[in-house]
Amino acid sequence: MDHLVLTVIAADQPGLVERIAQCIARHGGNWLDSRMARMAGQFAGILRIAVPADRYDDLVQGLQGLEEQGIRVQFAGGGQEPGAAGRAIELDLVGNDRPGIVRDITRALAEQGVNLERLHTEVLPAPMSGEPLFHAQASLAVPAGASLEALQAHLESLADELMVELRLNPEAPR
């Protein structure tokens, strides 16, 4: 089986995911993983599928045909999953919303050699004041030799500067 990673975007409408799933199944593909959401009237997603090597080209053509229905699909071959080195960490962040929070946090993570594996962000009104609060949850892969204490101290010092709260919750080692 070959793996294919797709990104999908279209104007949100009922039955959109079903049409994508139908196309994948019709061409012998198997839907494995996905993350999808509606934002500002658009529906966007990323998904990973498996397909027999002899059906790969037919599946790609079928998915490209969805453009006629207003569904834009981009493709990337599924490479090898990274090795299981390092530790998995969960990061939770809450703070007053302002431009640049994601840039500053991701820069600090990259400087420490930390890989961002999953990121979910949203801005919601604060319970009492109604002021916009930025929320982020992330799964991180911390290099095997890195000190979790040093990473946490680095992020906490950045958190003070950004007026955010960070909580690192180590999961089981990979």
**What is the reported pLDDT for 95?**
84
What is the number of structural domains in the chain?
A: 2
Q: Give the pLDDT band (50/70/90) at residue 88.
A: confident
Whether 66 and 95 share a structural domain: no
C-alpha distances in Å from residue 87, one per residue of 98, 140, 156: 30, 8, 19
**What is the reported pLDDT for 6?**
96
For 137, the domain range is 87-173
Helices (H), 27-173: 56-64, 101-111, 148-162
Residue 106 lies in a domain: yes
C-alpha distances in Å from residue 134, one per residue of 26, 42, 89, 91: 41, 21, 20, 14
Q: Is 138 exposed, middle or buried (0-12, 13-18, 19+ CB in 10 A)?
A: buried
Mean pLDDT over 83-109 rounds to 84
Residue 80 predicted with pLDDT over 60 = no
CATH number at residue 37: 3.30.70.260
Domain edge (last residue) among 77, 95, 121: 77
Whether 109 and 143 share a structural domain: yes
Residues written for the chain:
174
Residue 173 predicted with pLDDT over 60 = no
Which run of H or of E encompasses 26? helix 16-26
Q: Which of 135, 150, 64, 46 is nearest to 95 (CA)?
A: 135
95-106 per-position pLDDT tens digit? 888 888 899 889
Whether 52 and 91 share a structural domain: no
The answer to whether the beta carbons of residues 7 and 73 sit under 8 Å apart is: yes
Mean pLDDT over 115-131 rounds to 92
In angstroms and rounded to an integer, the radius of gyration of the C-alpha atoms of the chain is 20
**What is the reported pLDDT for 174?**
46
Range in 13-17, 58-62, 126-130, 165-169 with the lowest mean pLDDT: 165-169
Residue 129 lies in a domain: yes
Residue 82 lies in a domain: no
pTM (global) more than 0.85: no
**What is the reported pLDDT for 83?**
52
Whether 100 and 159 share a structural domain: yes
